[in-house]
């Protein structure tokens, strides 16, 4: 191996070491005012309730993204207790149990705004946890004297976007907490629920709202306070929840009320309620291939693999990732690729 190749591998190993350490770091509980250390992983969906409908034996297939330097999209057979994509480090044991008790006792009311907000709050905590990992990871690389200078400069150019993304998520986290536990009744979010045909899939995730490159330095981004009066977020999160039940699938799509980003996959938010079932299922299918946190039953995976659907999904994911990367530097008037792209032709509900 050449010296250049060896040096590159050493640098890759160094960054992978930092990234791995940051993923294991829990920090303090994200609930306001709690200073307990996080020593556990919280499930995004209830492992012995909701996920039991697609993993009665404790095993299911989750979509994963592996590899720091050469990301690989794949499906991986795992156990509900061993899942990494469906868990995050963000809450102490006390608050993990207390905050979500009303959506973990099996008495779900999917038209209930508070319960919809609780599902979305937990999904947002997961997304915030991932963003914070990247922010800390970038800081480690920038501060490391042994890290390659050219790589460090690239990291410094990327870091502000991730910092701002985390701060936007923190801003919306605060708004949700005010509504859930601190007496604010403004209902700043809106949710559309629809019951779909049964399919063994589950997710609870944030999508869309990617921040475009901005003319701001690393230090300037760090100095921004998302709770300061006058703070204006650069992105607006959307939420997707697919809750499997014995005979059907409950879908919940959520967004910021009076959003300036008015479309999801080319569909006006105001028209989602009236969207024909076929188009709505395609919309849900497109959203799923744009997120990283979802899983399916082993039997559905086997069916999809036999039909060639797994290849179709992975191709759609690659197409979405490539398209997002190409659009990242283009002016879109505040809209994201998720807003502007039309609904595709893939429909995961076509599975017999």
End-to-end CA distance of the chain: 51
Confidence (pLDDT) at 262: 80
Give residue for tokens 């999508």. 207
Distance CA 44, CA 315 (A): 26
Cβ–Cβ under 8 Å, residues 168 and 235: yes
Q: Which of 55, 86, 37 is nearest to 300 (CA)?
A: 55
Confidence (pLDDT) at 66: 73
Q: Cα angle vertex 316, ends 248, 352, to 5°?
A: 35
Distance CA 189, CA 252 (A): 12
Give residue for tokens 């899942």. 83
pTM over 0.85: yes
Rg (CA), the chain: 20
Confidence (pLDDT) at 196: 95
Per-residue pLDDT of the chain (352 residues; tens, 9 = 90+): 666 678 899 999 999 999 999 988 888 999 999 999 998 889 898 777 788 888 888 788 999 887 677 778 889 888 766 556 688 999 999 999 899 988 887 678 899 999 999 999 999 999 999 999 999 999 999 999 999 999 999 999 999 999 999 999 999 999 999 999 999 999 999 999 999 999 999 999 999 766 666 778 888 999 999 999 889 898 889 999 999 999 999 999 999 998 777 888 888 888 999 999 999 999 999 999 889 899 999 999 999 999 999 998 998 888 777 655 443 333 333 334 445 555 666 788 876 5
Count of residues making up the chain: 352
Confidence (pLDDT) at 338: 47
Give residue for tokens 């490539």. 322
Give residue for tokens 């395609």. 282
Kindly give the residue spans of alpha helices, DSSP state H, lying in 200-276.
Answer: 218-223
Task: Give 73-76's long-range contacts (Cβ < 8 A, gap of 24+).
Answer: 73/314, 73/317, 73/318, 73/321, 74/314, 75/296, 75/301, 75/310
Confidence (pLDDT) at 339: 53
Kindly give the residue spans of alpha helices, DSSP state H, lying in 207-293.
Answer: 218-223, 277-288
Distance CA 24, CA 137 (A): 12
Model pLDDT for residues 200-217, shown as the tens digit of each residue: 999 999 997 666 667 788
Q: Which of 267, 127, 245 is nearest to 253 (CA)?
A: 267
């Amino acid at each position: 191996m050449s010296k250049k190749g060896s040096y590159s591998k050493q640098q890759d190993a160094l960054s992978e070491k930092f990234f791995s350490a940051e993923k294991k770091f829990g920090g303090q509980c994200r609930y306001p005012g709690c200073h307990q250390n996080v020593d556990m992983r919280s499930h995004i969906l209830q492992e012995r309730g909701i996920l039991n409908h697609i993993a009665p034996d404790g095993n299911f297939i989750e979509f994963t993204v592996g590899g720091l330097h050469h990301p690989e999209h794949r499906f991986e057979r795992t156990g509900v207790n061993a899942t990494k994509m469906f868990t995050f480090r963000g809450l102490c044991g006390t608050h993990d149990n207390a905050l979500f008790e009303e959506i973990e006792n099996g008495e779900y009311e999917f038209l209930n705004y508070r319960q919809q907000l609780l599902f979305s709050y937990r999904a947002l905590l997961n997304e915030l946890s991932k963003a914070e990992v990247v922010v800390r990871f970038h800081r480690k690389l920038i501060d490391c004297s042994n890290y390659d200078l050219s790589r460090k400069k690239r990291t410094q150019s990327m870091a502000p976007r991730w910092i701002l993304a985390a701060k936007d998520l923190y801003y919306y986290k605060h708004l949700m907490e005010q509504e859930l536990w601190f007496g604010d009744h403004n209902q700043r979010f809106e949710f559309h629920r629809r019951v779909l045909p049964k399919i063994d899939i589950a997710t609870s995730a944030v999508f869309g709202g990617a921040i475009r490159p901005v003319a701001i330095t690393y230090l300037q981004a760090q100095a921004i306070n998302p709770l300061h009066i006058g703070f204006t977020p650069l992105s607006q999160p959307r939420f997707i929840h697919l809750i499997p039940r014995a005979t059907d699938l409950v879908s919940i799509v959520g967004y910021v009320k009076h959003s300036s980003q008015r479309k999801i996959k080319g569909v006006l938010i105001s028209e989602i309620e009236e969207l024909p079932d076929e188009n709505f299922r395609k919309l849900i299918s497109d959203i799923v291939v744009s997120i990283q946190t979802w899983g399916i039953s082993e039997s559905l995976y086997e069916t999809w693999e036999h039909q060639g659907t797994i290849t179709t999904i992975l191709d759609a994911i690659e197409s979405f990732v490539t398209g997002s990367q190409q659009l990242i530097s283009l002016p879109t008037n505040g809209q994201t690729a998720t807003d502007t792209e039309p609904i595709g032709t893939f429909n995961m509900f076509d599975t017999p």
